Structure formats: structure tokens, C-alpha cells
Amino acid sequence: MNILDAIINAKEGGAVQQLGSQFGLGQDQTTAALSALIPALAAGFQKNLQSPQGVGNLMSALSQGNHQRYINNPQSLGDQNAVAEGNGILGHVLGSKDVSRQVASRAATQTGISPDLLKQMLPLVATLVMGAFSQKSGPASGGLGSMAGMPGITGSDGGIMDMLTPLLDRNRDGSIIDDVTSMIGRFGKP
């Protein structure tokens, strides 16, 4: 299951309902917003996972945080701490507020939803992504291990990379490198 499906289907759509309620959006609009925002976050995570330091940072964040609560209890997205945590995640994944604004602007073009509303939603979406990763990499999935063959992180074991790849391989050529490079390149342009 890819990361978008994991979030949309978690707790029978509870996260979609909670986000929609918080931002005054219907279910279809909220799903469209998630569909537009998550691929950009996935590209940022993929880029970070290219280095041992990025993998280490993700492992540390997953082992120290209680990110699963956002998936297990979507009402926790209404807590101000969710926004603060999400902004921290965005800083690591996207690097700057300018990139976050560009992500929201591009998502607004795709969805017709206000870029300001999407900018407000983006930190909460980031917490949901980390929540889904946390579930995938937790003890039930084999826990967190070393980089080589690490359950929960690397591909072909149902780990985080398997959750990212379907969203990132846009041209379905079996490689995400060209797609991620193109996606990240677009965020660097005005």
C-alpha cells in the first residue's frame, strides 16, 4: 500500500474526516488535497533517504516520536502540537518555507483549493506521513535496524520505500530517480 492510501484508509478515513472538519473541506476536497500534497512530501523523504545521514535522521525521528498517534487517533491533529511537529518535519523534508509555499501553490493549481488553506494543512499532512511511516517501521513490521536490509525502510519488504515508490514513479518505468529529480527540480523554480 502506498503512503497516500495508508493515510486515506487509516481508521476508516478518520484522518480525511478530521482534516476536512478542521479546514472546512468536504471529503472529496480533502482527499484531493492529500493527493496533491503527499507526492511532494514523498519526494522530499525520498531525497533525504538517499544519504546515510538522512536515513539516520528518519530512524531517530521514528524511534523518538509518537507519530502513530496521528494515524491511530486522528482527533489529535486538532492539537497545536501537531502543527509544531509538522513544521519541524517540513523543515527537514522540504528544507525551507519557500519550498513549502511552492508545494501549496502547485497543489492549489491541481485542486482549486486556496493555497493559504493548503499551507495551513501541509504541516498536518506531514505529521500523517510520519505517522504512517511510524506504523510501517514499528515493532510489528520488524522494527528499525541497520541501513542494509533495514526492515521498515528499504524496499521489497513492504517498508517505507515501498510506500513512497508508487507515488514517485510517475512514468512507470521502474525507476524513481528521474521522477524525483524532476519533481524536486520544479520546487526550486519560481
pLDDT one-digit tens code per residue, 88-122: 889 888 888 899 999 999 999 999 999 999 999 99
What is the total count of domains within the chain? Answer: 1
Pick 122 or 141 by higher pLDDT. Answer: 122
Buried b / exposed e over 119-134, threshold 16 CB at 10 Å, is bebbbbbbbbbbbbbb
Cα(39)–Cα(35) distance, rounded to whole angstroms? 7
pLDDT band at 180, cuts 50/70/90? Answer: very low
Structural domain harbouring 152: 3-187
3-state percent helix, strand, coil for the chain, nearest multiple of 5: 75, 0, 25
Tell me: the pLDDT tens digits for 11-46? 889 999 999 999 999 999 999 999 999 998 988 888
Helix axes 27-48, 52-64, angle to 10 degrees: 130
What local confidence, expressed as pLDDT, does residue 105 receive? 94
Does the pLDDT of residue 135 top 50, yes or no?
yes
Whether this prediction's pTM lies above 0.75 is answered by no
Q: What grid cell was written down for 9? A: 484508509
Cα(92)–Cα(186) distance, rounded to whole angstroms? 18
Given a contact cutoff of 8 angstroms between Cβ atoms, the answer to whether 41 and 93 are in contact is yes
- The mean pLDDT of 135-162, rounded to a whole number, is 46
Q: Which residues, 6+ apart, have CB-to-CB distance to 90 below 8 Å?
A: 100, 122, 123, 126
Pick 166 or 68 by higher pLDDT. Answer: 68
